[in-house]
Amino acid sequence: MVTIRDIRVILTRPMGRNLVVVKVETSEPELYGLGCATFTQRYRAVVSAVVDDLKPLLIGRDVSRIEELWRLMMFNGYWRGGPVLNNAVGGVDMALWDIKAKVACLPLVDLLGGKVREAAAVYQHADGRDHAELDDHIEDLLGQNIRHVRVRLGGGAAQTRASGEAGGMAYGGVGAVTPPPDGALAGAYFDPSTYARSTLGALEHVRDRFGDGIELLHDVHERLNPVQALGFARDVERFRLFFLEDPLALEQIGWHERLRAATTTPIAASELFTQPSEWLPLVSGRLIDFLRMHLSHLGGLTPARKAAVTAESFGVRTAWHGPGDCSPVGHAVGLHLELASPNFGLHELQPFVDAAPEVFPGCPELRDGYLYPSNLPGHGVDLDEKLAAKYPVEPSVVAWTQSRLPDGTLSPP
């Protein structure tokens, strides 16, 4: 029996985002697994959960009993769920799947039923401070044969200032943000009306400029109230989006039935979801078209594969969350699941740039708009710990999540 000998956490920042990687070492020399546990905004809490809580619980246990260990990690603390615990559990869970595939001398996808496709189509983000800059960004992506593009106008470039304190990004980007009242606190000020108008104009411009040979996506990021979201989803119908992401805030998921009735725009949702009780009603009610959970926030590969199979039964596709604060390990695990899932839709990818390919040997490879995994056993991604240490994480107070409406009220970022 192969057992867990040690569990360590490696922190690194090769692409400018704080990444958390869990390394599960076993009783077999040189046999280990890696998992992504990145919760950038609260990474220190995840480290503590792994090292102080999960490690003592798991040392000496059989690495092959993945389902048993996942349940043990979840149930042992009595209260369960939430992004801190889920990331800690998810990092260990991915590492255990990596180990199991290495023991079998197979790529991870083969343990998930084998490939139904050779690679995953990706989408990338294009933004700009104006239409010309947006065009340049899109043309660059098209030149790489990336045909799915998420459009945002503004690029986070506009600034506002509140009460003499440094202001933050104004997501609308174009058009003036309404000045906040005297005494308003500093933050990332954002005008929903300006955002909606400028985004509709940008989508119209891009569709006219590039035609139907490009698939367009847009992420509302929960920045509209429910009535505004319904109207916006109807307004974008004419642009034939591949999907509209998170038009409703996590706290307003009860509005999804009205949203479905109001528009034919495909809806992607669930980026912030951490529990089946959140996504299951939307899937079983056929109220969304794409699941968007972040695999480590969900608790790893074990719950993600169950979500994918459940979604398939209801005609819902997957488009797992894949931002820059998902490590190459997390991207690789998601990719293997996508290659085995008939109901895969699209892979979100912020490219592995700077030192990432050296820190994480075996990164999935992007070629002509498709992401390909390494053919090595496991998920295929390794970690050079010495090189990772040259890119230390940087503790900071997160600014972009301090989003405020024009009157200074905090709102979802």
Q: Tell me which residues are annotated as active site.
A: 171, 221
- 281: buried, middle or exposed (CB in 10 Å: 19+, 13-18, 0-12)? middle
Q: Which amino acid is at 396?
A: S
Cα separation, 261 vs 357, whole angstroms? 45
Q: Report which DSSP code applies to 98.
A: H
How distant is the alpha carbon of residue 1 from its chain centre? 35
Q: Which amino acid is at 129?
A: R
- 321: buried, middle or exposed (CB in 10 Å: 19+, 13-18, 0-12)? buried
Q: Which amino acid is at 135?
A: D
Q: Which residues contact 156 (CB under 8 A, 6 or more apart)?
A: 127, 169, 171, 173, 400
Q: Enter the tokens of residue 71.
A: 């349940």
In DSSP notation, 50-67 reads: IIIIIHHHHTT-BTT-HH
Q: Report which DSSP code applies to 49.
A: I
Sign for the CA dihedral angle at 408, 269, 298, 332 comes to: negative
Task: Tally DSSP H helices, then E strands, for the chain.
Answer: 15, 15
Count Cβ neighbours within 10 Å for each residue of 199-216 and write b for 16 or more, e otherwise: bbebbebbbeeeeeebbb
Q: Enter the tokens of residue 207.
A: 């569709």
Cα separation, 102 vs 100, whole angstroms? 5
Q: Enter the tokens of residue 364.
A: 């999935």
CA dihedral angle for residue 160, residue 164, residue 165, residue 171, rounded to 10 degrees? -10
